Amino acid sequence: MNQQPSSAFVGASWAALLIGMLAYIVGLWNAQMALNEKGYYFAVLMYGLFAAISVQKSVRDRLEGIPVTNLYYAISWFSTVLCVVLLIVGLWNATLTLSEKGFYAMSFTLSLFAAIAVQKNTRDNHRPGDDKEPRRVEERPRVEQEA
């Protein structure tokens, strides 16, 4: 049984994603750190969001019987774990107050969780046949040219 998510859940998921991302980015904008540090934390957030969505998609594909290579599945999980580890290492070594470190950790976690929820909702709301697949052009057999 594939039940559609309620519009309230979809809205809450999008709100959580936007709030988590905006809080994290505004925190970076106002932070008293070097620009390269800000870039590091921003890259970790963007990579983390992509990795979390990849995990959700590959897990869901496997559950629905859609083929997913073991390599892609493993890379998705590895990337997600790597992003969390990179954030932890970065915050551990940062010269930030504990409250700032907690703020970044929580807004990052909220963003990753919300990205997974948004991807799930998007997948649940997709109805087969909504977007028509482009017709495949049949390849004609090649005729070898005579010299």
d(CA 63, CA 116): 16
Q: What is the pLDDT of residue 135?
A: 46
Q: Is the pTM of this model over 0.85?
A: no
Q: What is the pLDDT of residue 126?
A: 76
Report how far apart, in Å, the C-alpha atoms of 73 and of each of 51, 70, 77, 91, 114 are.
11, 5, 6, 28, 20
DSSP helix/strand/coil, 137: coil
95 contacts: CB under 8 Å, gap ≥ 6? none
Q: Enter the tokens of residue 71.
A: 């390599």
User: If you write DSSP's letter for every residue of 68-89 in order, what string do you get?
Assistant: --HHHHHHHHHHHHHHHHHHHH
Q: What is the pLDDT of residue 138?
A: 56
Per domain, the residue ranges of the chain are: 35-124
What residue spans of 4-97 are helical by DSSP H? 7-30, 35-63, 70-93
**Per-residue tens of pLDDT for the chain, all 147 residues:** 567 888 888 899 999 999 999 999 999 999 888 999 999 999 999 999 999 999 999 998 898 888 889 999 999 999 999 999 999 999 999 988 999 999 999 999 999 999 999 998 888 887 655 555 544 545 555 556 655
What DSSP character marks residue 111? Answer: H
Query: ∠ CA 5-57-44 to the nearest 5 degrees?
Result: 105
